[in-house]
Structure formats: C-alpha cells, structure tokens
Chain A
Amino acid sequence: MNEMPGITQNDSSSPDAYRHLIERLPVTLRPALNQQLTQWGMLFPFEQHTVGKFLKGVESFSPSALDALTAPLWALEKKMGVNHWNFSQASDTIENASQLARSEYYAEWRREVQRVFESVNAAARDAAPLQTESKRLILLFLPGNLPVNPQSVWKQWDPSGREIKISGNSGKFCELVTQGQPGLSGIATLAARKGTVDRSDIWFIDAEGRLSSLLSSLSHNAAASLSYTALKPFRDKFLAELNKAPKDIQATDEVISNLRLESWNGWDLWPPELANQPKLRKFVIDLFLSGNGAVIFSNSFVEWAAAEALRRARPRIVVARFGMRSKPKPFTSIAIFENQQRVSSLPDVDDPENSAIDALILARYVWLAASRYPERQQTFCLCVAEHGNSAYVIPPPGKTLSLSPEHPLGPEELYHWLGTQFLS
C-alpha cells in the first residue's frame, strides 16, 4: 500500500487534492463524495474527518489492488446499466436514488457498496483512529403538557435501562441542564471543560422555544441550538418554495438543487441564534430537503434533526425537547404537506394525547439513532417524561446504574448524578 503525504496529514485541507481519487472509484460511489467535497467548508469536523479518512484509505491502495477491490461493483454497475442512466455524479439526487432502488440488483449493489466501504475504511483505520472514548450524553425531554401513559411509557425502550422516579417538579430538571445549579455548571459548560472545541459537539434541539429561553448567551455561542418555533419564518418560506416542485423527479431535483444553493440570507428569515452560523443554516436546509416531516411537524423536526446531528457530527451531547402539535384541521388535513396556518384560517387547537404518542416514539428513535454508532459504548441516555415525573436511564454497555428505582430523586440530585457520570 502506498501513502500520499499532504492528504493524510490534515483532514480539513483543500478538497481539490481529493478529487482525482474519486475518479478511481465506481460511478455510484461518486455522487455523495463529490457533493461533500463541493460543500467542504459547510461540513462539520467529524464529516471532514470521515471523508478524509475514507479517501486516505482509497489512496493507500495500489491501482491494481483498488481495481481488484472494486471489480465486483464495477461489474454490477455494468449489469445495472448505470452508464445508460441519467445518473448525477456531482451530487446525490432523488433520481439517482430512484434508479438504484428500482434496479433488480439493488440489494446486491448495497451489499457491494458496504463491502467496498468497509475495506477502504479498514485500510485507513490504523492511520487515523476515531476518538470515541469520551463520554456522551443523550438527554430527551417530553414536556409536562404531553400526557404519557405512566403504565406503558417505557415499555418499548431498551431493556438495559431502568425507570427512575423524580420527586418534586421534574420540569426543573430541564432548567438545571441548561443553567446549572450551585456547584455544578450547565451541561454546555461541562462539555467545554471536557475539551469540546466545536459547537457541533453539543446540540440543543427544541420543538418549541423552551431550551433557547433557558440557555445563556455563553451556552448559545458554544453549542448548536435549533428551535422549530424560532425557525417559523424560514420554514414558511422554504415550504412554499418546496411545494412549487412539480410531480416529476427531474424537475424536483432541480428545485431541490436550487433551494440548496440559494443563500437564504436576504429575507431576514433566520432566528438570531443562527446569525453568522453558515454551517448550521446549511444543516437546516439539508434537513428540510431530506423530508421526514421536519418542515411539517415539530416533533419530527426534533427527531430528524437529532438523528442527522448524530450521524453527521457525532456530538458528545444532544439535548432534544419535544412538544405539542396542533390537531389536523378539518378538510385541510388532507393536504398535510401544506402550511396549515396558510391554508386555513381556523385557529390551531392543541392535540396533547396524540402529541404524546408521537413524541414518545420519536424520542426512542433518537436513542436508537445514537445506538448505531461506536460511541454507544460511552453513551448515557436519559429521557424525562415531565408529565409523569418519570425518567428512563440507559447506561453504556457494561455499566451498572447506581440509582435505586425505589427511591425517587429530586431534580437537583438527578442533575448532580448526571454531571458526575459525564465528568467521571
């Protein structure tokens, strides 16, 4: 294997040095990599590290070794007829995904791609090991106005966890996490003490505006903070533009591409916490373009933003707070992809029971998303159901919880315990 100095030394170096490596790869591997290089300055440090590591792995193969590794994928692409497709190599598109997914060789193709990625990453692993040993926290909040069923609230959760009861006002715990308590700083400050250097290392994601209202300006500056409520002006404008896409894959790809390239700076649409945060703005745009209801429902936004933050940034801390959604409005609910406030003048009416159902499964999905990565080995998860003064704690594998389920903890005790776990 061969090492090319200059590329391997600095993961955030100019992406142009990488482009020739992508040309050595099978066609279907190129769009995602090219797209990431094009947007290099908008990538989070972890993404830059991952792309750099992968391409370092590619360059470590001699031409004949790389040919041997990728020969089955090249052959498969030929059988699939990729060269005859309208297949973008510049970026991922809906049409690319659609053509791949409807191929009779799709499953085989996925297996081959997985095999190539694993081999390349294995080749790079020794030279650029991933730092995963630091403690991680996933903190999830189901607000007090969501009436979860105390009998079944944790039934679907990871059996390695445990329910604990919170005495007193469990809603206070959220304040402590954001603001700290005497002798123990808020979570963002604790993270900074542990060596966090990039704001993508800690995320506050909120269906409403509770977290933002509690965070100090210092914490805001040190973290990635997103609020569905605060994004409303941007969401409304974005959704209106998105709904202009016709029912045609190519035309929709064009609309999406334009929306991705649009600067979105001219209409005063962004909340103050995203001022001078181009990476976070880009994250939000990508999030809304990737669907999954993030632009439609606040709880979907929270879940999908958290899942994407975990995938793209591998943060040490994710704090996600779910919220209330409105009842579908009569008649207009059939056009749920539309802005309901725009299409109906009827006032919004809260839907607490169904919001609780949605939030509970989506909170679990955040945990499941976090569980997919190697950092799971160091991750604590705590989900607080404020309505029932109940919380569910999942420790890292092999860790024993020192908490007793028989003895309720006050919010201060619980935060103290959490801080201890994180700092230890």
Chain B
Amino acid sequence: MDASRRSLLKAAAILLVDQWALSRTQASGLKPSSAAAKDERKVIVVACGGIRRAETFLDTGLGNIPHLYRELLPQSVFYPFIRNNGATSHYNTISSILTGNWQRLDDWGKTPPADPTFFEYLRKRMALSQDDAWVISSNKALTSRIGASSIRDFGPSYGANVIFPKQLLINAVIRAASQGHAEHSADRAAMQQELEAILQHADNYEGLGWSVSGEESFLDLRIERSMQQAIEDLVRTNAPVTGDEFTFLVSAEVMRRFAPSLMAITFSDVEVAHFGSYSMHVAGIRTMDRLVYELWNLVQSLPSYTGRTTLFVLPEFGRDFDGSNTNGFFNHRSIDDSTNLTWMMCLGEAARSPDVIQRPVQHIDLCPTIAGLFGIKGLDLPGKPLPGLSA
C-alpha cells in the first residue's frame, strides 16, 4: 500500500476513535481510560476468517505468509492442529471462541451467545470498565450482539464495545450508489456528502451495527468533520482499500487510547473467496499476514502493551477442499480436515518458551486459557487450557 493512502486510512482511524472517546466522555462524565496508567496483563485475539492450511502453513502456502512464517513463528508457541468442532459459520465460530462453548446460533447474529463471553467473565470478576473490552471486526456476518451473552447474571452490562469500521465505508458507498451518485465514489468532495449523511444522523450511526457507549449513539461534530476529511482524501486516491486495513488502524488507535485488557479483532478480506476470486483471497491472506506482523510490532512499541501482552492468531476455520461438492475454496461447509482443521499462533507473555505443540487443540480452548492468564478460576467450561503456555 502506498504511504499516502495508508496515512489517510490512519487519519480516519484516529479520528474515529477520537470521536468515540469524546462522545463517551460527554455521555458518561467519565474520563477516558488512561492507557499509560494501566499495567495489567493484556490479551489480543485475532481471528482471520476462513483460511486453508494449504494456503498458509503447508509447503504450498508459506509464500503467502512471510511474516508469520519467518518473523513470528520462531518466537511463538505454535499449534499446527486446532480443530473447529462447531458450526463453521462466522458468527458461531467467533461466539464459540469468545465463550469457550460451541455455539449453535442463528448464523446471522440474530441472537447473542448462549454462554458468557470472556469479556463478561473478565469484566465481572475484575470489575473492569467497558473501555477494557473490545471487538473490532471487518466481518459483515457478525452483529453487535457478539459482545455479550444472553445469560442473566452477565449480559451487556459486562459486555464489550463492538465496532465494525468497514461498515462505515460500505455504507457510504452504498448510499452514493442508491442515490444514483456513481460519480461520488470516485470524487472526494461528493463522497464527503455521503459520509456526512451517515455520520450526522443517529439512525444511520446505529445502522453501522456498532454497540458502543451503552445506549449512546451520537457523534461529536468536530471529530466527525475531521474524520470525513480523512476519508474524503482516501476516496480521492486511485487504489484499492481493504476493510481489514481500516479495521487494523482503528484497532491500533483503540490500543493507544484505551489500552484495553482484552480485545478481539476479526479480519475478513479473505472472505472474498465466497465470490470465487482466488487471487483476491490470497491477497487477503497476505494482507492478514502483514497486519498481524504490524500489530505485533505495535504491541512491542506501546508501553501499555510491551512485556505484558499475549497475542493469539488463528483462522476461524479452513475452507473446503478442491473438488469438494461444496465448490472448494469458495465455501467452508464440508465436514473434513480442510475445513475443520487449522492452526493457531500464540505470541508474547504467555509464549515465553517457543514451541510447536503437536497435540490437537480446539477453538473452545481459548476461553479457559485466557481466563487462566487473568487468574480467573472455577469456570465450568468444556475446553481445556492450551498446553505449552506460561501462566
């Protein structure tokens, strides 16, 4: 990505977080969290859509993941076999990771997880604020309900902030198109109008699918205009922009400003595979590889994170095998190792002794592992703490 375009995306991300922080302060009368003051343990989970082992950690795929393979693998605890034994849809898989129980919910996020998420366990047991728990996602298949369960003693009061940065960009494009302004998507000034229309109206803000600041849904006008300016510049550039890039930049700003204890990031550029473009799918894998590397470097550079952060990276599942009756890489529906078996990498504080753990593990093992890292005990979960990690 060229530097100018990246800087514009970055500006947009900064401003997005700024406006959220300001609106939250206005709404609650609370000061935003002081990142520098925090010294507790941090955990970041990055889930990156459906990616086959064949395109990543098998010989045929190593060229797609130079950063993961060359830079990060040697310093990680690596799990070459992690099995998704649940429903291999996005909402159910992310819910399963967050709750430590296989979730079997409406695939399109109509209902919240049926078991408490690790956000809820953490916030309730450690009396943490909502600033400490975030889900930042590119994936359209998720909804704001992903951040908290339907369990009475937990629920939204202990849930995470959930935001979908990519949806802001998508809404702007679709709005321009629906109003017959195709030229707007190629014109900075015109695109500004589309973004203004979305950001200035509470209804449209809620239409982005976010769940932040409790019930608040207003935006600060000063920040809103600044953000529009940044995105407007982005529109003017004549190069592709990816949702994951924007999701990463917003995540980075959240880390800088709020230093949440627990953050889940989901990337989804790879899901272009559903439309049958293998080249774009592989480009999505390469983007994910780069962004994870940048995220890890960011962790090393931020005082709130360095030396106290554990980062988990894993695909949600694989994709169907070439020749399957579900059309191969397009989908993730077949019941076999190509779809159900993938890999996971753990970096940082809990991965002080790099290793490759050959023993198969499961996606639902993350929740008890993360609970253990925060010293939370006594949870009755079906998964087991991951082997090979330091407490």
**Residue A291 at the chain B interface, CB threshold 8 Å:** yes
Contact partners of A283 in chain B: CB under 8 A:
none
A357 close to B278 (CB less than 8 A): yes
A333 close to B240 (CB less than 8 A): yes
Binary CB contact string for chain A from 346 to 368 against chain B (1 if under 8 A, 0 otherwise): 10000001110110011011001
**Interface-central residue, A104, A110, A293, by most chain B CB under 10 Å:** A293
**Residue A84 at the chain B interface, CB threshold 8 Å:** no
**Which of B38-46, B76-84, B102-110 is the contact stretch?**
B102-110
Q: What residue of chain A has the Cβ atom nearest to residue B177's Cβ? A: A343
Q: What residue of chain A has the Cβ atom nearest to residue B271's Cβ? A: A336
Please pick, from B106, B170, B323, the residue contacting A372 in the complex, using a CB distance under 8 A. Answer: B323
Given A331-B169, A332-B173, also A346-B186 (CB < 8 A): yes
B241 close to A358 (CB less than 8 A): no
Please pick, from B104, B330, B335, the residue contacting A104 in the complex, using a CB distance under 8 A. Answer: B104
Binary CB contact string for chain B from 232 to 244 against chain A (1 if under 8 A, 0 otherwise): 0011011111110
**Residue A421 at the chain B interface, CB threshold 8 Å:** no
Q: What residue of chain B has the Cβ atom nearest to residue A307's Cβ? A: B327
A371 close to B323 (CB less than 8 A): yes
**Residue A197 at the chain B interface, CB threshold 8 Å:** no
Binary CB contact string for chain B from 142 to 181 against chain A (1 if under 8 A, 0 otherwise): 0100000000000000000000001001100110110000
Contact partners of B140 in chain A: CB under 8 A:
247
Contact partners of B69 in chain A: CB under 8 A:
none
Binary CB contact string for chain B from 177 to 212 against chain A (1 if under 8 A, 0 otherwise): 100001101100001000000000000000000000
Q: What residue of chain B has the Cβ atom nearest to residue A364's Cβ? A: B322
A368 close to B323 (CB less than 8 A): yes
Given A102-B105, A299-B276, also A343-B170 (CB < 8 A): no
A372 close to B325 (CB less than 8 A): yes
**Residue A151 at the chain B interface, CB threshold 8 Å:** no
A342 close to B335 (CB less than 8 A): no
The size class of the interface chain A forms with chain B is: 35 or more
- In the assembled complex, the CB of B100 is this many whole angstroms from the nearest CB of chain A, namely 16
B87 close to A101 (CB less than 8 A): yes
Contact partners of A303 in chain B: CB under 8 A:
276
- In the assembled complex, the CB of B283 is this many whole angstroms from the nearest CB of chain A, namely 8
Binary CB contact string for chain A from 279 to 299 against chain B (1 if under 8 A, 0 otherwise): 000000000000111101101
**Residue B328 at the chain A interface, CB threshold 8 Å:** yes
**Residue A379 at the chain B interface, CB threshold 8 Å:** no
B108 close to A103 (CB less than 8 A): no
Q: What residue of chain B has the Cβ atom nearest to residue A247's Cβ? A: B108
Binary CB contact string for chain A from 319 to 356 against chain B (1 if under 8 A, 0 otherwise): 00000010111111111111101111110000001110
Q: Provide the bound-state CA to CA distance between A156 and B43, in Å.
A: 40
Contact partners of A204 in chain B: CB under 8 A:
none
Contact partners of A98 in chain B: CB under 8 A:
89, 106-107
Please pick, from B107, B173, B182, B279, the residue contacting A345 in the complex, using a CB distance under 8 A. Answer: B182
A335 close to B173 (CB less than 8 A): yes
- Enumerate B223-253 residues with CB–CB distance to A below 8 Å: 234-235, 237-243
A248 close to B279 (CB less than 8 A): no
B280 close to A328 (CB less than 8 A): yes
The size class of the interface chain B forms with chain A is: 35 or more
A336 close to B87 (CB less than 8 A): no
B177 close to A354 (CB less than 8 A): no
**Interface-central residue, A110, A335, A342, by most chain B CB under 10 Å:** A335
Please pick, from A156, A331, A337, A358, the residue contacting B276 in the complex, using a CB distance under 8 A. Answer: A358
Q: Provide the bound-state CA to CA distance between A339 and B107, in Å.
A: 25
Q: What residue of chain B has the Cβ atom nearest to residue A361's Cβ? A: B278
**Residue B277 at the chain A interface, CB threshold 8 Å:** yes
Please pick, from A101, A336, A342, the residue contacting B275 in the complex, using a CB distance under 8 A. Answer: A336
A338 close to B174 (CB less than 8 A): yes
Q: Provide the bound-state CA to CA distance between A333 and B237, in Å.
A: 13
Contact partners of A327 in chain B: CB under 8 A:
240
Q: What residue of chain A has the Cβ atom nearest to residue B103's Cβ? A: A102
- Enumerate A89-107 residues with CB–CB distance to B below 8 Å: 98, 101-104, 106-107
Q: What residue of chain B has the Cβ atom nearest to residue A295's Cβ? A: B275
- In the assembled complex, the CB of A14 is this many whole angstroms from the nearest CB of chain B, namely 30
**Residue A249 at the chain B interface, CB threshold 8 Å:** yes
**Residue B213 at the chain A interface, CB threshold 8 Å:** no
Contact partners of A156 in chain B: CB under 8 A:
322
Q: Provide the bound-state CA to CA distance between A353 and B243, in Å.
A: 23
A300 close to B277 (CB less than 8 A): yes
A292 close to B276 (CB less than 8 A): yes
Contact partners of B280 in chain A: CB under 8 A:
328, 354
Q: Provide the bound-state CA to CA distance between A127 and B88, in Å.
A: 40
Q: Provide the bound-state CA to CA distance between A291 and B275, in Å.
A: 8
Q: Provide the bound-state CA to CA distance between A247 and B92, in Å.
A: 16
**Residue A18 at the chain B interface, CB threshold 8 Å:** no
B323 close to A330 (CB less than 8 A): no
Q: Provide the bound-state CA to CA distance between A325 and B182, in Å.
A: 20
Contact partners of B87 in chain A: CB under 8 A:
101-102, 106
Please pick, from B89, B109, B275, the residue contacting A297 in the complex, using a CB distance under 8 A. Answer: B275
Please pick, from A103, A106, A325, A336, the residue contacting B272 in the complex, using a CB distance under 8 A. Answer: A336
Contact partners of B335 in chain A: CB under 8 A:
106-107, 110
Given contacts A334-B166, A336-B275, A337-B275, 18 further A-B contacts (CB under 8 A): A247-B109, A292-B275, A294-B276, A297-B275, A331-B186, A334-B242, A343-B173, A343-B174, A345-B186, A346-B185, A346-B186, A355-B279, A357-B279, A357-B282, A358-B277, A358-B279, A361-B322, A361-B329
7 smallest A-B Cβ distances: which pairs?
A: A300-B276, A293-B275, A293-B276, A354-B279, A368-B323, A343-B177, A102-B87
13 residue pairs of the A-B complex, CB under 8 angstroms, read A292-B276, A294-B276, A304-B276, A329-B185, A330-B235, A331-B173, A331-B235, A334-B169, A334-B243, A336-B275, A361-B322, A362-B278, A364-B322
